[in-house]
Amino acid sequence: MATIIEPESDFSALPDLPPEVYTAPLKRPPHLGEDWLEPKQTEYSVDEDAIWDDLFARQMEVLPGRAATAFLQGLEKLDLAHGGVPEFGKMSEDLGALTGWSVVPVPMLIPDHVFFWHLANRRFPAGNFIRTRETFDYIQEPDVFHDVFGHVPMLTDPVYADYMQEYGRAGWKAMRHNRLKALGALYWYTVEFGLLMEEGALRAYGAGILSGPTEIVFALEAKSPNRIMLNVDRVMRTDYVIDDLQPTYFVIESFEDLYHQTVERDFDRLYRSLSPAFTYANSAIIDVDDVLHRGTQEYLQRGGRGSGAAPV
């Protein structure tokens, strides 16, 4: 079957991109090689370590009982509560022993094909810098807190760890089929904003939810957003919001469910059937949906972020 990756793919070396494949024109800092990796992690100041500790403490007020068990266990397995920004070398040793992943420092968002290449080799690129007190509540560019606190604990789960590698391996095929936008929607609605049904209760496993104080309560408990069981075809046709709370969240039954739904799919056929633009609005409910909660969309209708609307 034509699956999510090209059968002949070799992920050992960074690929030369064919000229017809589009990549965002990011300017590589002159001291970095083609892998975009920093030679070493930043040395953080006392104030920066204190920002990490305060962000960590704030999250721990809201995460117990709301974050997926795999995430909370991951925090413990990697000893991420020990104070200050974690040291990537030590964290990678612990993570490597569990699932073979490592965490590598990058200066900023990196080009898609480089990001995919690192994931395909079980390396998670994490932003090197940490936000300031001024941007404590919200930053657009992912920093070390979002990347390490939000993403890395989940990589201690063996099935999730495999999913992330397959996602990286899938990236090049999506680029060659000009379907990166659709694959990006899958990442958004799973890796960043995914919910999980765990013993009859909803929990969050997406890093975008887990690394901030507001969205986890909104995603799990508010009346506004839709909550729909994940269907990969449908999700890959669905628009999303990048700078506000999501109008819709998609729920998986288990990480095995996510892995199998994604990896065991005929992506050639799927890619052929997708249109270049998204088919469904981010707040839409369609006939095939298995709906857990039909949202009121009150938050969105009152104007969302910046309007003063309560996230209800």
List contacts with Fe ion (CB under 5 A). Answer: 207
Rounded to 5°, angle at Cα 248 from 146 and 233: 95
Beta strand ranges found along the chain (DSSP E): 102-106, 123-127, 195-198, 201-204, 226-229, 248-252, 291-293
User: Quick one: 219 or 270, whose CB is closer to Fe ion?
Assistant: 219
User: Quick one: 41 or 211, whose CB is closer to Fe ion?
Assistant: 211
Q: Is 260 annotated as a binding residue?
A: no
Task: For helices 158-176 and 255-263, give the axis angle rounded to 10 degrees.
Answer: 20
Strand partners, 190: none
CA distances for 109 relative to 19, 27, 112, angstroms:
22, 10, 9
User: Quick one: 149 or 271, whose CB is closer to Fe ion?
Assistant: 149
User: Quick one: 5 or 164, whose CB is closer to Fe ion?
Assistant: 164
In the complex, least distance from residue 208 CB atom to Fe ion, rounded to whole angstroms: 6
In the complex, least distance from residue 206 CB atom to Fe ion, rounded to whole angstroms: 9
In the complex, least distance from residue 192 CB atom to Fe ion, rounded to whole angstroms: 5
Closest C-alpha to 89, from 40, 45, 46: 40
In the complex, least distance from residue 211 CB atom to Fe ion, rounded to whole angstroms: 8
Q: Is 151 annotated as a binding residue?
A: yes
Q: Is 31 annotated as a binding residue?
A: no
User: Quick one: 212 or 247, whose CB is closer to Fe ion?
Assistant: 212
In the complex, least distance from residue 49 CB atom to Fe ion, rounded to whole angstroms: 22
Closest C-alpha to 249, from 282, 212, 274, 210: 282
Closest residue to Fe ion, judged by C-beta, is: 207
Integer Cα distance of 90 and 199 in angstroms: 33
Instruction: Indicate the annotated binding residues for Fe cation.
Output: 146, 151, 192
Instruction: Indicate the annotated binding residues.
Output: 146, 151, 192
